[in-house]
Amino acid sequence: MTNKNGLTRVDGRLKVTGAIKYAAEYKFPGLVYGVVVSSTIAKGEITGIDSKAAEKSPGVIAVISHLNAPKIPGYDRKPNDFDPNIKTFNDSKIYFYGQPVALVIADSFERAKHAATLVKVSYQKQQQQTSLTANLQNSYKPWGDGSDYLRGEANAYRNASVKIEAEYHTPIHVHNAMEPFAMTAVWDGDKITVYTKAQAIKSMQQDIMNMFKLPIENVQVYSKVIGGAFGSGSPLWPYAKAALIGAKVINKPLKVVIDREQMFTMVGYRSPAVQKIGMGASADGKLVGITHEATGETSTYQQFGEGITDTTKFLYDCPNVNTQYRLTRLDLSTPTYTRGPGETTGVFALECAVDELAHALNMDPLEFRKKNYADHDPEENKPWSSKYLDECYSLGAEHFGWDRRKQKPASVIENGWLVGYGVGSGAYGAGRANCSARAKLSADGILLIQSSTSDMGPGTATVMVKIASDIIDIPVENIRFELGSSALPAAPGEYGSITTSSVGSAVFDTCTELKEKFKQIAGGTDNPDYLKILKEHNLPFVEVTHHTSGRAPDADKYSAHAYVTHFVEAHVHPATGMVKIKKVVSAVDGGKILNPITARSQIIGGVVWGIGMSLTEEGVLDHRYGKYVNANLGDYHVATHADVPQIEVVFVDKKDPVTNPMGSKGIGEVAIVGFAAAVANAVFNATGIRVRDLPITPDKLI
């Protein structure tokens, strides 16, 4: 259904009625169930596995571990350091607490779950290191990383008239999507079909091909819908390798679903970080220099890095900027991409530091940002493809009522609560990748568009239908978009805010070519009557498959980003330290907004996660054991309805002339960037207390 806000979700009814199948909902004759047994140490070696009791348990078919697993062909290849995985069931080594050490397979989930508790594993334990702050001195410069950066003079902030220095800490953030991770694997000889949760379907197909050294025609991946991911759904995780091996061994369809506790250790997380920022300005508020140093963590067996300091290089007009990024290897599972990876962490520190310097200057923080606005990219010395961050400032301030803000902290009390206003900005690259799509218009009036992209919730199919409907003049209810299969035309993974730009460009180009093909059949008619042409030429359908380049014309000449400015009103109870977010306005420059109703939902989702990031979310480890002590949704606190106020989203909605033919810029990632800083800045304005260590819990305010 189309209304003034755009097209409502084309798959919405299917989702709310349960008609769409998620990864764990596929059933096959002879389907059996696997439960992963996890390690109970963080570092060491397995010295023995006693599975006799489990094997004798009712309904148990097999217990698989490194002791009896078959030789996996792909395990012989050179490890890929950008693939955050381990060789499941390959050897006895333990790299992190919760690592898969065995897979129990039974004829029911309940029987497999019970039998898994009967597996006894003995270890030779080694001393683990799981604390980032305790191991900062062991950090190293990531290989292949270019994050050490210098423009102008290093540490020039020290010579400024007004300067600040501060250290900021962000904790582990865990992927706690509503849908647990699952894989259903079905082998037929040397052919494998999997139903799973995959943001990058073609990449997962390739990973499985590499693991078993299979040709592409022997591997089929389905991921029709995803119940939340935002980075965690990309790799072939250890539990999935266990499922593939298990199904191969027993030669039956096998379903493996990990539980909530295992989601803390088996599907990645946002790396914690320690960041130091020095920032200085002249007395009139012009930036002189910024120094930004950050340290994150990775595992001992792989390297994962992210651009924590990247935004600092270009967000503001500053002549002297130097950044440094380091990693510390710890005995934990490998971190992974998590919404706004790198930027979300780094911009928290950057935008808090901007607020701190504005306060030291006794200057309104929004005016300070305007004074240091970058009208071109100072890092790459390129013009922007488009940049309306200044309009985000003005639109957001107007809708929020920023003019009511008091410069002096702790000066506003309302019904016994301290009231503060805060602002935080963010940016995220407007990327695009190679993509293919197929469009087929049949004599029954149905336009079918296909591409092997996925949908982790933002409404991919909906916006693709909207793009197609704008080109080919047929009712939207007659347009179908098929995704979620590796057999469809190749598409990039759904991450990095590239899906609409990449897949959308392919849909745009393919539908344009299809329209041109109809015009040619009709002898050059400008407004072809599609069904009449099919009937007159006795054609059951007309079909086009088109590959679209990931590079827009002249893209290299420009720097392309989406932008956001978040405005937050926070109330703080002076006696208890409780923080309530009372009002949020998020102003967004996402180029042309193709479908406002789903775009607004993207921003709201980012803000809700940002509320959790700023006030509640923290993965807590007991470093004596390297174990999470809050590996559940009771103790790991995500934002709930009671934490979330009405969120107003304002779009600049101006077309970007460079990024893609639609003029859009991805907004899924940028939605969360800068929000936690806006909350911290609002809390400071309310209380005069600067919290630099997330989350902002009551104990830090009383």
| 23-29, long-range: CB < 8 A, 24+ apart | 23/179, 23/181, 23/182, 23/183, 23/184, 23/195, 23/196, 23/197, 23/223, 24/179, 24/180, 24/182, 24/184, 24/255, 24/257, 26/184, 26/195, 26/255, 28/184, 28/186, 28/253, 29/253
**Domain boundaries 433-550, corresponding CATH code:** 3.30.365.10
Domain boundaries defined on the chain: 23-127+178-228+233-266, 149-172+269-430+557-700, 433-550
**Domain boundaries 149-172+269-430+557-700, corresponding CATH code:** 3.30.365.10
Closest-CA residue to 231 (of 672, 621, 567): 672
Tokens of 103: 């897979």
CB 464 within 8 A of CB 472: no
* Domains 23-127+178-228+233-266 and 149-172+269-430+557-700 are alike in CATH topology: no
pLDDT of residue 1: 63
pLDDT of residue 127: 98
pTM of the model: 0.96
CA 325 to each of CA 127, 341, 667: distance values in angstroms, whole numbers, following the listed order: 27, 14, 25
b/e burial code for range 353-368 (CB count within 10 A of at least 16 → b):
bbbbbbbebebbbbeb
* Distance from C-alpha of 559 to C-alpha of 531, rounded to nearest angstrom: 43
Q: What is the dihedral of CA 581, 583, 587, 592, to 10 degrees?
A: 100
pLDDT of residue 80: 53
**Alpha helices, DSSP H, located in 5-108:** 12-16, 52-56
Tokens 């061994």, residue located:
249
Closest-CA residue to 671 (of 563, 591, 569): 563
* Distance from C-alpha of 140 to C-alpha of 147, rounded to nearest angstrom: 12
Query: Any idea which residues carry the catalytic annotation?
Result: 669
CB 428 within 8 A of CB 436: no
Residues in the chain predicted with pLDDT less than 50, given as ranges, are 81-82, 84
pLDDT of residue 85: 72
Using one digit for the tens of pLDDT, what is the confidence trace for 469-518? 999 989 999 999 999 999 999 999 999 999 999 999 999 999 999 999 99
Tokens of 685: 């304005």
* Distance from C-alpha of 675 to C-alpha of 211, rounded to nearest angstrom: 40
pLDDT of residue 539: 96
Q: Does domain 23-127+178-228+233-266 bear CATH number 3.90.1170.50?
A: yes
**Alpha helices, DSSP H, located in 445-566:** 460-471, 499-521, 530-536
